Structure 1
C-alpha cells in the first residue's frame, strides 16, 4: 500500500511540475495582430540531373578489412592500439570515467589472459587522457586477442560501457 501511495504522490508531483501556466497580459496592452505581406514563391532554377558516376570502391577480399583508426563510445573516445613489441601493446585515448579509473581485460575469445586497471589524467565529468602499455602473450598461436575497456560500477562491481578493441597482429 505504501508503494502505491508513493507512486501516486510522485505522479501528482511530476504532473504539477510539468504544467506551466503563463500569465495573461492585461487587456489594455494587447495589440492587434500584424498581417504579414503575402509572399509569392520563387521557382527554383532548373538544373539538369548530375551525370557523374560514383567511383568504384577498391576491391577487398573477405577478411581483408582495414580496422578503424580509433574506437569510441559514450565514455571512451579516440582510443587507439599500437603493437610495440612481440607481446606488448600501447593503448592511448581519452576517457570520462569515475575517479579516472579505467579497467581492462584482454581475452582470446575463450579465456581472460590478463586484466587490470590504470589511471587517466582526470576523472569524470572531464575527459582524461591515458596511455598504458599492456603485456599479454597468446595462449594459442592462431587466436585473436581482444581488449575490452570498461568502467567498473561502484554500485555492484559490474562492467559499464564496454569498448571492445581488437588488438593488432602486426
Structure 2
C-alpha cells in the first residue's frame, strides 16, 4: 500500500512538472500581443529647420545662470542672477590688450539673495582678429578691487 501511494505521488509530481513546461508560466505572458519587427518611426524635421545652438551657462560663487547671446552686429544680451553687495555688479569688456568698455548693472535684489539682471551691451572690436571677453565682478567696498571675477568669451 505504501509502495502504491509512493508510486502515485511520484507519477503525479512528474506529470505536474512536464505539463508546466508546455504552458506559459504567468497569465500575463498569454495576454501579450506578438512582438512587432518594424522599428518605431520618428517624425522628420523639415529641411529648413536649423538645429538649435547650445547656450553656455556660466557661474561662480556670486553669479549663476549667466548667458550671453549675440543679438546683432556688436550687440550682446547678458542675462543671469547675481548675489552682490547693494545689487550692483560691474563689467569690463576687453580684447586681450585693451579695455574697450566698462560699466555697472543693477540686479533686482541685493546679497545674500539672488537678483536677476539683464543688460544689452554694445561693443565694437578694436582689432578685427581679436576675441572679446566679458568680465563680470563685484567691486570690493574695502579696497575697490575686483572680487569674484567671472570671465566669459563673447560669441563671434
In the superposition, the TM-score normalised over structure 2's length comes to 0.65
Tell me how far apart the structure 2 counterparts of residues 121 and 91 of structure 1 sit (CA, whole Å): 15
Tell me how far apart the structure 1 counterparts of residues 54 and 100 of structure 2 sit (CA, whole Å): 22
Moved over 4 A (4+): none
The question of 1:140 aligning with 2:127 is answered yes
Residue in structure 2 matched with residue 108 of structure 1 by the alignment: 95
Tell me how far apart the structure 1 counterparts of residues 54 and 95 of structure 2 sit (CA, whole Å): 18
Deviation at 1:72? 0.3
The question of 1:73 aligning with 2:55 is answered no
Structure with greater proportional strand content: 2
Task: State the secondary structure of the residue aligned to 2:108.
Answer: coil
Unmatched segments (≥5 aa) in structure 1: 1-65
In the superposition, the TM-score normalised over structure 1's length comes to 0.60
User: Which one of 61, 79, 83 corresponds to residue 70 of structure 2?
Assistant: 83
Deviation at 1:88? 0.5
Deviation at 1:67? 8.0
Residue in structure 2 matched with residue 165 of structure 1 by the alignment: 152
Residue in structure 1 matched with residue 114 of structure 2 by the alignment: 127
Tell me how far apart the structure 2 counterparts of residues 160 and 79 of structure 1 sit (CA, whole Å): 17
Cα RMSD between the aligned structures?
1.3
Unmatched segments (≥5 aa) in structure 2: 1-52
Structure with greater proportional helix content: 2
Residue in structure 2 matched with residue 99 of structure 1 by the alignment: 86
